[in-house]
């Protein structure tokens, strides 16, 4: 156990985590150059494109240190985005150390700080590493000062490295050996292992990545998952090098995988404790939480005939994404579809993109919404995931909305516009600190405002320099109303939004005006109205198109003119018919963007 080092890498997107992981794996000779695929830890295409890691993966490395001894280094990968902060905390709690990778040319960012704090809370040893020192813009001294100012970690011994060129990689490994404490744990105690991650494999079913805290796990043991009480026979244990290699056992301090014939991913929950059925641990490891979707949206096939295909695609995605939820939903405007629950906006984007790319689906997505708690006069509390389902306000005692605590890091120059933005979004300032080159702002803010367009606008008012991290804080009473939109006199349920009463009038006018611009002119005038209950608060008219006719058609034009008309018709097919008005897809997302975001 003295030769085991469990560590992960904390880094902001683009600060070079994946490249550094590749270098470490390469330096330990775990993969031959031929096998060394760039950025092996980020195996999914989408992740590669977006430069983020969604599923934590791991690599067990053998490193011969300068002291002549061989160490087992377990690199545990962590997801790098705000939507996945719970997964990050579980990954970190499986480690004794973490490399804090900071881009020497850019300095500290919000998620890095949030993850770093999580690490410190878990008593994980944080080892600063300044990456990208080969860049001309690298300023290691400022970055070092910033780490000390912002995070409060001693950075005087921070390693300077460049994962790209390979400078300093050996020093990083030496530091891991020297600074990361070896795991503590009792191999003779009853088995306690933390589920760091789980995923579905087509051949063996669910694969669980665990960190053994106490005890030993062998094939043929019968495992017990403590949160659900479910038992499974353990078929195989092993480690990733990053290729999977079977082992005879996993014992205290080690990180590896378990295959136990589990069919459903939801059965192996991240953060749960694995123990043995015949000799269970007294109590589970701390920190387990059921993760619940925070953001909901309706997904509808453009072609209603593709409903079954959409369900199958969602089922396939869910095989490998326990946090994705969906259930059938019927919209008057959009027909049959699914209300889907996501961890956050990024998660939603990823799911949507996979459906469109991997499964070739044409989708209409309604504007995302948070979950409201509605206390009825009857005393019953409802969770409302779809604005259209908000009960009649006369039966409602109160509506509570989720509040998040947002931490924003940004260069000083942008403090003014960012504060203005936070105020617009009904944010309440909790803290503001000047830290070296940067400012840290902490706001309590309705999550509803964040899913709207906060992130995009934050990026735009700060020219991309601000970084955001947030966590759920509480449900808070709010004066909210449902804003309905009617097109051609018909209520379009998929366009309903829940907004604060104070901004309802403005939003109603804004949305009606925006829809007027997005819905193509038809053969007749189309009124667009916004209403709260039966009270119309805004009205716009989409003026009738005057004509739609081809100026010329002679003997030679037949096939070309015909193609033109076919194209026109094809374009209309991608719209949804509501009453006798055709509404294009973009209109359903219009509710997302406020005018200021332009």
Partner 1 sequence: MTRKTIPITPAHAVRLEPAGTGQRIQLTASPPLALYIHYPWCVRKCPYCDFNSHTLRGDATPDTGLEARYIDALVADIESALPQVWGRRVHTVFIGGGTPSLMSAPALDRLLTAVRTLLPLDPMAEITLEANPGTFEAARFRDYRAAGVNRLSIGIQSFDDAALTRIGRIHDADQARRAVDIALTNFERVNLDIMYALPEQNMAAAMRDIDIAIATGVSHVSAYHLTLEPNTAFAHSPPPLPDSDLSADMQEAIEDRLAAAGFEHYETSAFARPGQQCRHNLNYWQFGDYLGIGAGAHGKLSSHEGIVREMRHKHPTRYLEAAARRDFVQERREVAAAELPFEFLMNALRLTDGVPTALFSARTGLPLSVIADRIDQAVAAGLLAADPLTLRPTEQGQRFLNDLLALFLPEAEAA
Which residues of the chain form contacts with partner 1 (CB under 8 A)?
521, 523, 543, 545-556, 558-559, 561-562, 565-566, 568-570, 572
Question: Is 131 flagged in the annotation as binding?
Answer: yes
- Of residues 289 and 562, the one with the C-beta less far from partner 1: 562
**Rounded Cα distance, 591 and 515, in Å:** 9
Question: Is 381 flagged in the annotation as binding?
Answer: no
- Nearest distance in Å: CB 538, partner 1: 23
- Of residues 569 and 598, the one with the C-beta less far from partner 1: 569
- Nearest distance in Å: CB 575, partner 1: 13
| Burial of 585 (C-beta count, 10 Å sphere; 0-12/13-18/19+) | middle
Q: Are 227 and 269 in contact (CB under 8 A)?
A: yes
- Nearest distance in Å: CB 352, partner 1: 22
- Nearest distance in Å: CB 321, partner 1: 29
Question: Is 188 flagged in the annotation as binding?
Answer: no
Question: Is 556 flagged in the annotation as binding?
Answer: no
- Of residues 33 and 570, the one with the C-beta less far from partner 1: 570
- Nearest distance in Å: CB 303, partner 1: 11
- Of residues 424 and 522, the one with the C-beta less far from partner 1: 522
Question: Is 132 flagged in the annotation as binding?
Answer: yes
What ranges in 462-530 are assigned the alpha helix state H? 501-518
| Burial of 497 (C-beta count, 10 Å sphere; 0-12/13-18/19+) | buried
Upper half-sphere CA count for residue 489 (Cβ side, 13 Å): 4
Question: Is 134 flagged in the annotation as binding?
Answer: yes
- Nearest one of 5, 398, 512, 450 to 211, comparing CA atoms: 5
**Rounded Cα distance, 345 and 350, in Å:** 9
Question: Is 62 flagged in the annotation as binding?
Answer: no
397 to 376, 392, 517, 523: CA distances (angstroms): 5, 11, 37, 45
- Nearest distance in Å: CB 543, partner 1: 8
For the CA atoms of the chain, what is the radius of gyration?
Answer: 27
| Burial of 539 (C-beta count, 10 Å sphere; 0-12/13-18/19+) | middle
Question: Is 16 flagged in the annotation as binding?
Answer: yes
Question: Is 580 flagged in the annotation as binding?
Answer: no
Please state whether beta strands 273-276 and 363-365 pair in parallel, antiparallel, or not at all (unpaired): unpaired
Tokens 């494999």 sit on residue? 201
- Nearest distance in Å: CB 310, partner 1: 17
- Nearest distance in Å: CB 523, partner 1: 5
- Of residues 2 and 559, the one with the C-beta less far from partner 1: 559
Question: Is 17 flagged in the annotation as binding?
Answer: yes
- Nearest one of 501, 505, 498 to 479, comparing CA atoms: 501
Who contacts 513 (Cβ-Cβ below 8 Å, separation ≥6)? 538, 540
**Rounded Cα distance, 445 and 449, in Å:** 7
DSSP 501: H
- Of residues 501 and 560, the one with the C-beta less far from partner 1: 560
- Of residues 96 and 306, the one with the C-beta less far from partner 1: 306
- Of residues 501 and 563, the one with the C-beta less far from partner 1: 563
Residues comprising the binding site for GTP? 14-19, 131-134
Residues comprising the binding site? 14-19, 131-134
């Amino acid at each position: 156990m003295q030769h085991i080092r469990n560590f992960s890498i904390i880094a902001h997107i683009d600060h070079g985590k994946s490249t550094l992981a590749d270098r470490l794996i390469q330096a330990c000779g775990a993969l031959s150059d031929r096998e060394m695929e760039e950025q092996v830890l980020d195996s999914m295409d989408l992740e590669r494109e977006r430069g983020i890691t969604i599923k934590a993966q791991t690599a067990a490395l053998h490193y011969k240190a300068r002291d002549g001894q061989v160490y087992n280094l377990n690199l545990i990968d962590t997801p790098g985005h705000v939507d996945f902060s719970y997964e990050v905390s579980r990954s970190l709690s499986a480690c004794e150390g973490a490399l804090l990778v900071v881009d020497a040319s850019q300095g500290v960012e919000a998620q890095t700080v949030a993850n770093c704090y999580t690490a410190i809370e878990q008593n994980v040893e944080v080892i600063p590493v300044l990456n990208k020192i080969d860049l001309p813009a690298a300023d290691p001294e400022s970055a070092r000062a910033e780490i000390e100012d912002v995070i409060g970690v001693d950075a005087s011994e921070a390693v300077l490295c460049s994962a790209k060129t390979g400078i300093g990689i050996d020093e990083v490994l030496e530091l891991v050996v020297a600074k990361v404490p070896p795991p503590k744990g009792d191999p003779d105690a009853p088995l306690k292992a933390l589920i760091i991650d789980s995923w579905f494999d087509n051949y063996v079913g669910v694969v669980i990545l665990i960190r053994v805290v106490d005890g030993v796990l062998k094939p043929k043991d019968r495992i017990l998952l403590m949160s659900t009480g479910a038992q499974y026979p353990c078929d195989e244990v092993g480690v990733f090098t990053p290729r999977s290699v079977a082992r005879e056992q996993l014992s205290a301090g080690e990180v590896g995988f378990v295959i136990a014939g589990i069919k459903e991913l939801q059965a192996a929950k991240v953060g749960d404790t694995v123990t043995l059925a015949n000799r269970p641990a007294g109590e589970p490891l701390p920190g387990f939480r059921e993760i619940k979707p925070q953001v909901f949206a309706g997904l509808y096939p453009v072609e209603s005939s593709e409903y079954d295909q959409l369900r199958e695609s969602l089922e396939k995605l869910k095989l490998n994404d326990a946090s994705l939820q969906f259930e059938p939903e019927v919209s008057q405007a959009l027909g049959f579809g699914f209300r889907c629950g996501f961890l956050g906006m990024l998660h939603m984007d990823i799911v949507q993109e996979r459906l469109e790319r991997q499964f070739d689906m044409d989708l209409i997505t309604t504007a995302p919404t948070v979950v409201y708690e509605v206390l009825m006069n009857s005393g019953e509390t409802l969770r409302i995931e779809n604005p259209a389902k908000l009960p009649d306000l006369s039966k409602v005692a109160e509506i509570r909305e989720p509040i998040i605590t947002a931490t924003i890091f940004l260069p000083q120059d942008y403090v003014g516009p960012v504060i203005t933005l936070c105020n617009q979004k009904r944010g309440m300032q909790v803290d503001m600190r000047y830290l070296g080159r940067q400012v840290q702002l902490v706001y309590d803010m309705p999550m509803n405002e964040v899913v709207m367009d906060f992130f995009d606008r934050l990026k735009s008012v700060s020219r991309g320099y601000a970084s955001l991290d947030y966590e759920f804080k509480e449900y808070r009473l709010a004066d909210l109303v449902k804003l309905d939109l009617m097109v051609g006199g018909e209520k379009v349920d998929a366009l309903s939004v829940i907004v604060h009463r104070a901004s309802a009038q403005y939003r109603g006018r804004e949305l009606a005006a925006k829809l007027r611009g997005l819905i193509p002119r038809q053969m007749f005038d189309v009124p667009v109205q916004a209403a709260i209950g039966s009270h119309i608060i805004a009205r716009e008219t989409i003026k009738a198109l005057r004509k739609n006719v081809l100026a010329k058609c002679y003997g030679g034009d037949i096939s070309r003119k015909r193609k033109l008309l076919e194209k026109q018709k094809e374009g209309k097919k991608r719209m949804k018919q509501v009453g006798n008005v055709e509404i294009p897809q973009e209109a359903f997302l219009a509710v997302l963007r406020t005018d200021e975001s332009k």
